[in-house]
Amino acid sequence: MPGPAHHQGNRTLDQYAASWSQAHGGQPCPPLKAWAMAHKGKATSEVDYNPEDPPEAYSNATVHTRLTQYTEMAREVHGTSWDPSTEDFDGEIIMRVGGDPSKELVISPSHTPTAEHRTDSAQLRDEMEAKLQEQEAMYNARLQEQQLLYDARLQEERAMYAARMQEEVQRQMQTMFQ
């Protein structure tokens, strides 16, 4: 492989993006832009992403090929106005462009939804749904319990009021007929 693999050091892609953004006046640095620039220079250097850059601009010529394939496919899917420097990764497109995973054509594993991640997401969604249903059932049970307590108190107060009214009527009747 000609040249270094990338210039992000031991930082994650997100950390590289944050460093680049900080070094460049807080400019946004979406993942694709960060990935491309990490293959051009250090975050603190004067690197910037330009989709028109030739393969020689990158530390590894395969980076240009990957970016070109990804950008072309993304524009087919999202339209010609799609700008790779402002958008997040589209995992489906990465998987389509990547082809055989053994050839390591995936742009960034940390931003790529794999089949395992999709399974985990579906499983997580199912677990969350089950928890929500459980919480809803608990809430409804508490609500029903509170409603029963309220109804019992209301009946008790009505009975006390009726008893007081009866006593008052009795007292007034006695006073009238004495």
Residue ranges per domain, the chain? 13-112, 114-178
Q: In what helix (H) or strand (E) does residue 77 lie, and over which residues does it extend?
A: helix 61-78
Q: Is 39 exposed, middle or buried (0-12, 13-18, 19+ CB in 10 A)?
A: buried
Say whether pLDDT at 135 is over 70. yes
> Furthest-apart CA pair in the chain: how many Å?
118
Q: Is 61 exposed, middle or buried (0-12, 13-18, 19+ CB in 10 A)?
A: middle
Length of the chain: 178
Q: For residue range 61-80, what is the model confidence (pLDDT) as tens digits? A: 788 888 888 888 888 888 88
- Check residues 117 and 32 and name the one with the higher pLDDT: 32
- Of 58-62, 87-91, 99-103, 150-154, the range with the highest mean pLDDT is 150-154
